[in-house]
Structure 1
Amino acid sequence: MLENRLHDLQKICRMISSISHMDVRLINQEGAALLQLVKQNLPAALQNFEQDFRQINQILEEHPAHSYYYYINSFGLQYMAAGIWEENHYVGAIMVGPFLSSVPGTDFVSEMISANQLPISERRQLQEFYASLSIVNNSTSNSIGELLVNLCSNSFIEAQLITTDPVQSNQSKESIKTMIDESKEMIELRYHTEQELMHAIMTGDKETVEKLKINIGDTYLEDRIPESPIRSSKNLISVLNTICRMAARKGGVHPVYLHEISDKFAILIERAPNLPYLNKLVEVMLHDYCDLVREFSTRQYSELIKKAVDYIRMNIDSPITLQSIADSIHANPSHLSRKFKQETGQSVTDFINLKRVESAKLYLQSGQKSITEVAFMVGFNDVNYFSRVFKKVTSMTPSQFMKEVNKED
């Protein structure tokens, strides 16, 4: 029966998606998605659509037709949904989300990873994804729910657009020529600034980025289209996001990390409500790309060691040995071991342990898990060995580290 209203429901979904700037899905009673207007793809580790759809359908079908459902899944992702009814029979739902009700901090991401036993190697991608979600307060989420109920309960009405007559331009040839000359100057300035910026991000040079910030703001937040200054700036800052991504790639950052951060800022740019917000967003974006290069760049290494380092980072919570790395990147273990020590200054084992301890510190800081649980989460099979490695790296035992963190709080 849902097929009878499918055309109207698709229009309603597109309208909600356009207004809310969030994902909108139309699902039938069996939990199949008939329409998915998705602006951002969920990381594979968070995809739980079958269970989400089943839960939403079950709750809405058990309640009156004028109900809407505020649903939060095990990953902390929040949705608003309303049922579609035909002749007192439940036939499906429209759901909006995911979104969050508060800004996700490091502890939030750690808690989600811990509670759902997600791979620690996905931490960076998950942080970028959660940071890209809309923050929706209680009043707004309720308004979305009420809007869904009213739209789902009534027939769709085709609206008639009324516009003003086109206004004839009264620009002179002189003024047009002046605008063209100014545009050329701006293009040249932008090109020069972009070259300097790309080199700064490629090397993670925040100091140079700070010096360039004024020129960047003037170039990418200019009011060149009086009728739509925000749209103009969004278009330019989207270009800046691409430039930053390309620079970070040249700086030796693996595409996996670039994909998540680039998607995050693409979404935040599009959702920006005003120019001051965009101005702040540019600053955050430049710094985040620099931090990414500083943390994940393998530019200084040979191709062999780049592959080895990337493999370790992406499998840090799994058993890793010199042999498993060598097998994965098709290298001789002895040659790999010598080259790794030569280029990084550390043995493969010491490098792995360092990265595991860095991850462990984040979980110990949150205080949500015991030392034993954290040890297993970051890839250690022996708690005593974990404690010895932790002390070697930090000069403190895990217990001492937790006490120091609590003192600071």
Structure 2
Amino acid sequence: MTNEKTINLLKDMLDITLDLPLFYIEDIKNNLKEIEKYLPSLLTINKDYFNNFIDFIITTKEQNIYSITDSIFANYVVVCLDEINKNYILLGPYLLIADYKDLLSEYNQYDLTLDEINALKNYHKDLPILNKHKISNIVKIILKNIYTKNCKFKFIEKNNLFNLKSKESKTHRELISFIESDYLEKISATEYKLFFAIRQGDKLFASKCFDKLLPQTNINSNDFVNIRDYKNKLIYYNTLLKKAGELEGISTVHLQSLYNTNLDKIELSNDFNELYNLIFNMIVDYCDTISDHKLKYYSPLVKKAINHINLNLNNDLCVKDLADLFYVSPTYLARLFKKEVNSSIVEYINTQRIKQSTCLLKDRNLPIHQISQMVGISDYNYFSRLFKKYMNKTPSQYRKNNT
């Protein structure tokens, strides 16, 4: 049998080409703490789940290839390399179900809430999708590089190691809860900007963010694997936009209806350009919904003022210019704004600028002085003082603690 260096080379190749994780587990019984560090977090978040998974691996025999489906529909392959020294390779997680609707039917077999189903969708969209034939070939290539002599291997399938229907175990719900709580922490800086823009009802900025995240593609629409991947990305952003609405206090019923409508449109389309345009319609719908909800108790004049402020935070803003824009006196606008919003116009502008800056600080590539200018504050020292006033820490401290 070959050495660990060969396995690491195979691991790197699979990671680069297929985004498929490969783990080499050595002396499993004496290295549980180390193993726990590098295994997928979903295998280690629940102690019973982790122990049962390890116990199963230990029972595997040489010259067998074990294909496992876990309690949340993810798949792994386990191969015992050395029964005496307890050395193994673990391949996965990945999905075997290429058709999204088939996966939905799998969800519906179990007693899951809508939030749990959405959390699973978010998790599954990041897993590589492979068929059994491809997995079989990958495993054969791995073993061919590991073993110096020809060996016959037997495939053994182990479906659903932990039953979702079991009333005695809540393991699956703990795993799904972990996915859901971890969801927003893992979004990229640009996704965070998109998330913030939607919460602000800023269609233009949200559209610019999305264009960076998912540029228009010229991939052949007949390529099902690529279009499935593209649809999965749109489903992810549909979920992200829905989450933005939830945090703004929008009715769950209304948001779910909007979410389902978008989901149906995504699944019905098999045209890249149509799907690309769909996201901008989604942005408009979610932004309008949030803006209407946030501003529904304000007078038309205050609504216009708030919208103008939120869309022009990077520009110079003052009460006089706002009043001139809407053909009213500065005193009247300031008094009405204070009465309805319970904040002065200047205070509201400052609050929104600091909110936007917290979003931009997530992007470590942006210098803080540039962020200051991007939110309409040309004086960096003033920006720092203002930021500390609202956030109780400097921009640098905030970035250090939150990125």
TM-score where L is the length of structure 1: 0.37
TM-score where L is the length of structure 2: 0.37
